[in-house]
């Protein structure tokens, strides 16, 4: 504006008419006024936009002292519960297995009670029946399994020595073909173990490593303390599970009614219905597994024995036990049975391959749907996932009981789905 006034004065001095200068000056003033008004409007629009953006994000939180105390109390309670579970994990695990075992034995106890047998006698008779069955099974199968396992271990060690020393003439044809390759791998392993031995001031490589690890199984060797500790810990857990199971069966009505008192009448009716369904799931799973164990284990044993393959009893027993791990069981049987069949002959290996394929087809498409899915009702994906989670939490025992546990959870999941519909 100041520059415009100076220019206006100079133009007057230079002879430009006053009218022309006034018109030009008024035009400049008008233009600057419009620019100022536009800038003012733009500023207002921008400010209103920024205010509208900020307002939704403004949160006024009023937290009372009582709310803070409640939050702190919940956190403290959570950490106390976490510490309690960590300290008592073995006892809680035993209690969990006791509840599961009581559910398994309850149908048998109920059967004996219906025969006018007193409750305590019915429980003891149920335990005796189970232990008698397991005793007969172990006494008839386990000696052969142990003997064949020792023989197989010696056979494997002998063949390993032959391959390591380059003596392929005494090996079966199939293994001899891969002799040089296996020898190279064994020397690599031996060199690696010798390197470890130098760091730990040991004296040997591969074979002393094998011998030392085998000797740890002997109770009079270095591992006796760990062995005794493990035996006593396992024995304590076993006795604890038996005692808890006995009292759960003996006082089942009192415990059940005590738990029901915490719920309303409508929920009591619901829990009664669900407890019956849970019992049916567990019983169905037990019956199904026993049938699979007998059928698959027995048939595998007979087939391997007919082919003249050694350790047929051991393979059959492992195949039956492995059925407690659906989908993974046949893989275990294949990994153990196929090398033994190959050591026998190509023909035996081909026959075993066909047999295991047929067994897998029959199991997956006939036996499991017929025996297990109708009673348990768990899909393949859920089965595998539950097995992995169960194994991670409780080892092999957790993997075995994962199926009935997830089946019980499925009862309540189905109810939730029905409520949403």
> Domain count of the chain?
2
- The token duo for 383 is 């089965």
Q: Is residue 97 helix, strand or coil?
A: helix
pTM of the complete model: 0.55
Distance CA 403, CA 139 (A): 28
Q: How far apart are CA 391 and CA 103, in angstroms?
A: 21
Tokens of 258: 């005590």
Look at residue 61 in the predicted model and tell me its pLDDT: 44
Tokens coding 107: 């149908």
Q: What is the pLDDT of residue 182?
A: 74
CB 320 within 8 A of CB 294: yes
Measured CA to CA, the distance from residue 382 to residue 326 in angstroms comes to 11
**CA–CA dist 244, 100 (Å, integer):** 11
Within a domain: residue 173?
no
288 CB-contact burial (10 Å; exposed 0-12 / middle 13-18 / buried 19+): buried
The whole-number pLDDT of residue 31 equals 59
Provide the domain limits for residue 32.
2-54
Q: Which of 10, 34, 54 is the last residue of a domain?
A: 54
Tokens of residue 49, six digits = 């936009």
Q: Does a structural domain hold residue 355?
A: yes
Residue 415 counted as domain residue: yes
105 located within any domain: no
Tell me, yes or no, whether 303 lies in a domain. yes
User: DSSP assignment of 183-209, as one string?
Assistant: HHHHHHHHHHHHHHHHHTT----HHHH
Per-residue model confidence (pLDDT) at position 98: 85
Is the residue at 195 inside a domain? no
- What pLDDT, on a 0 to 100 scale, did the predictor assign at position 58? 45
- Reading the chain (421 residues) residue by residue, the pLDDT tens digits are 545 555 545 554 454 455 555 555 565 556 566 656 645 655 554 455 445 444 444 444 445 666 667 777 777 877 777 777 667 777 777 787 888 888 888 888 888 888 888 888 999 998 898 888 877 777 766 676 677 667 767 777 777 777 777 776 666 666 666 667 777 777 777 676 666 555 554 445 555 555 555 555 444 444 555 555 666 677 777 888 888 889 888 888 888 888 788 877 777 777 788 787 787 777 777 777 888 888 888 898 899 888 888 778 878 888 888 887 777 777 888 888 887 787 777 788 888 889 888 888 887 777 766 666 666 666 667 777 877 887 877 777 777 777 778 877 877 777 777 776 5
pLDDT of residue 330: 78
Q: Residues near 104 by Cβ (< 8 Å), separated by ≥ 6? A: 282, 283, 286
Please indicate, yes or no, if residue 329 is contained in any of the structural domains. yes
Which of 36, 54, 72 is the C-terminal boundary of a domain? 54
Residue 220 has a pLDDT of: 47
Residue 409 in any domain: the answer is yes
Instruction: Identify the domain boundary among 12, 38, 54.
Output: 54
Query: What local confidence, expressed as pLDDT, does residue 319 receive?
Result: 86
Q: What's the pLDDT at 57?
A: 47
């Amino acid at each position: 504006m100041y520059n415009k006034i100076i220019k206006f004065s100079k133009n007057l001095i230079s002879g430009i008419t006053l009218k022309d200068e006034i018109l030009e000056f008024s035009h400049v003033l008008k233009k600057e006024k419009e620019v100022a008004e536009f800038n003012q409007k733009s500023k207002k629009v921008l400010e209103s936009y920024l205010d509208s953006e900020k307002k939704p994000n403004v949160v006024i939180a009023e937290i009372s002292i009582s709310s803070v105390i409640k939050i702190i109390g919940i956190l403290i309670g959570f950490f106390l519960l976490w510490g309690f579970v960590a300290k008592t994990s073995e006892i809680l695990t035993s209690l969990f297995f006791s509840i599961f075992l009581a559910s398994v034995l309850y149908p048998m106890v109920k059967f004996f009670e219906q025969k006018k047998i007193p409750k305590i006698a019915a429980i003891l008779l149920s335990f005796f029946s189970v232990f008698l069955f397991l005793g007969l099974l172990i006494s008839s199968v386990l000696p052969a399994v142990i003997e064949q396992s020792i023989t197989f271990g010696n056979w494997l060690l002998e063949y390993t020595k032959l391959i390591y020393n380059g003596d392929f003439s005494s090996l079966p044809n199939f293994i001899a073909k891969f002799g040089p390759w296996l020898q190279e791998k064994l020397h690599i392993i031996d060199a690696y173990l010798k390197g470890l031995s130098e760091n730990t001031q040991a004296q040997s490589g591969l074979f002393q490593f094998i011998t030392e690890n085998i000797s740890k199984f002997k109770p009079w060797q270095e591992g006796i303390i760990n062995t005794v500790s493990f035996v006593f810990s396992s024995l304590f857990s076993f006795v604890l599970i038996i005692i808890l199971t006995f009292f759960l069966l003996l006082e089942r009505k009192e415990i059940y009614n005590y738990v029901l008192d915490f719920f309303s009448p409508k929920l009591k009716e619901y829990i009664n219905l669900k407890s019956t369904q849970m019992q049916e799931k567990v019983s169905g799973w037990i019956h199904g597994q026993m049938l699979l164990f007998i059928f698959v284990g027995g048939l595998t044993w007979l087939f391997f024995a007919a082919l003249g393959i050694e350790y047929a009893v051991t393979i059959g027993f492992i195949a039956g036990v492995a059925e407690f791990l659906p989908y993974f069981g046949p893989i275990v049987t294949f990994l153990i049975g196929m090398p033994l069949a190959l050591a026998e002959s190509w023909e035996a290996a081909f026959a075993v391959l066909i047999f295991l394929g047929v067994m897998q087809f029959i199991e997956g498409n006939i036996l499991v749907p017929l025996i297990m899915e109708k009673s348990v009702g768990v899909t393949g994906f859920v089965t595998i996932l539950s097995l992995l989670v169960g194994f991670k939490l409780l080892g092999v025992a957790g993997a075995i009981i994962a199926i009935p546990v997830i089946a019980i959870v499925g009862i309540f999941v189905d109810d939730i789905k029905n409520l949403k519909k």
